[in-house]
């Protein structure tokens, strides 16, 4: 009985630097599909392409990518690194490269051998209830006028309006920053709205997202040798969130898996 073929993937060696339109053009030619379809694939791959592919097909696509200037390789799918479970941290001591992070219950995690710094900023919908003034109904107005005619008493304008609750939907930004540490493999996660930024000292800003960006820059300076994902590079370059391309945490984690795999191949 023939052995089942091992599924292959195509891995981009620099997923943090993907130029989506250029990658889409290569995929469109290789697949013979419309460029718009290929662009959707390019934007969602985050460095890992053509999962569950036959080895020969994966090798052909990798060769096409290399010819177009994209560093890539075909490799068995089981060699793509898995991420360890995230550990949420809420504060830090950023005195040196031996800095540590603490969880909400006080557990200390030294940030030793930081291999990757991966950040992303997302937009989410928020709903809030506000008080607004609204004209009273026509019937209530008629009753007020009738009262005026019957009594001669003046009607205050405030009695012609009433305060009501109104639900409004807006949006806000929030961020995630993962530190992936080695020996042993661990992942510390900073959530922008769940972190104590007092560790920033004089650099602490007045709003959450500014502090999140300052923290990301501080960590990048502390560990300059650590790999940086697309989101962190955007933060360091002060580029807008709307161009990062992340739709969900799954995008960030897929990119992190690609970067961790590449890092392992280089070491």
115 & 247 share domain:
yes
Q: Which of 220, 231, 120 is nearest to 176 (CA)?
A: 120
pLDDT on residue 1: 45
Give me the mean pLDDT over the 251-255 stretch: 97
Lowest-pLDDT range, 8-12, 52-56, 249-253? Answer: 52-56
Give me the mean pLDDT over the 98-110 stretch: 89
Determine the structural domain holding residue 218 and report its residue range.
86-126+170-266
Structure tokens given for 63:
């060769």
Give the integer Cα–Cα distance in Å for 128 and 76: 48
202 & 111 share domain:
yes
Q: Is the pLDDT of residue 225 over 90?
A: yes
DSSP character at residue 224: T
67 & 198 share domain:
no
pLDDT on residue 22: 94
Q: Is the pLDDT of residue 126 over 90?
A: no
175 & 101 share domain:
yes
Alpha-carbon distances, residue 191 vs 37, 226, 256 (angstroms): 33, 20, 16
Helix (H, G, I), strand (E, B) or coil at 64: helix
Give the integer Cα–Cα distance in Å for 32 and 159: 69
Give me the mean pLDDT over the 126-151 stretch: 65
120 & 69 share domain:
no
Q: Are 67 and 19 in contact (CB under 8 A)?
A: no
122 & 187 share domain:
yes
Task: Give residue-wise pLDDT tens across range 171-207.
Answer: 899 999 999 999 899 999 999 999 999 999 999 999 9
Q: Count of domains in the chain?
A: 3
Task: Kindly report the average pLDDT of the chain as a whole number.
Answer: 87
> 161 forms bridges with which residues in the sheet?
135
181 & 92 share domain:
yes
- Confidence label for 103 from pLDDT (cuts 50, 70 and 90): very high
pLDDT on residue 99: 78
Task: Give residue-wise pLDDT tens across range 231-246.
Answer: 999 999 999 998 999 9
33 & 159 share domain:
no
151 & 258 share domain:
no
Residue 2 lies in a domain: no
């Amino acid at each position: 009985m023939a052995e089942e073929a091992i599924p292959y993937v195509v891995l981009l060696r620099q997923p943090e630097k993907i130029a989506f339109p250029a990658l889409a053009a290569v995929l469109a030619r290789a697949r013979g599909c419309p460029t718009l379809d290929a662009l959707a694939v390019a934007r969602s791959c985050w460095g890992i392409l053509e999962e569950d592919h036959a080895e020969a097909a994966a090798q052909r696509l990798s060769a096409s990518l290399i010819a177009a200037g994209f560093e890539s390789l075909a490799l068995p799918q089981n060699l793509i690194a898995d991420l360890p479970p995230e550990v949420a941290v809420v504060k830090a001591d950023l005195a040196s490269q031996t800095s540590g992070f603490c969880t909400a219950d006080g557990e200390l995690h030294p940030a030793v051998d930081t291999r990757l710094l991966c950040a992303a900023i997302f937009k989410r919908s928020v709903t809030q209830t506000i008080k607004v003034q609204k004209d009273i109904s026509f019937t209530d107005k008629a009753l007020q006028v009738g009262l005026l005619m019957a009594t001669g008493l003046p009607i205050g304008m405030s009695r012609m309006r009433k305060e009501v609750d109104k639900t409004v939907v807006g949006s806000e930004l929030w961020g995630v920053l993962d530190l992936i540490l080695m020996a042993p493999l661990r992942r510390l996660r900073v959530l922008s709205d769940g972190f104590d930024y007092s560790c920033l000292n004089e650099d602490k800003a007045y709003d959450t997202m500014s502090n999140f960006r300052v923290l990301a820059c501080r960590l990048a300076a502390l560990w300059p040798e650590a790999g940086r994902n697309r989101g962190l590079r955007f933060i360091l370059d002060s580029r807008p969130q709307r161009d990062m391309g992340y739709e969900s945490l799954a995008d960030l984690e897929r990119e992190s898996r690609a970067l961790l795999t590449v890092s392992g191949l280089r070491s």
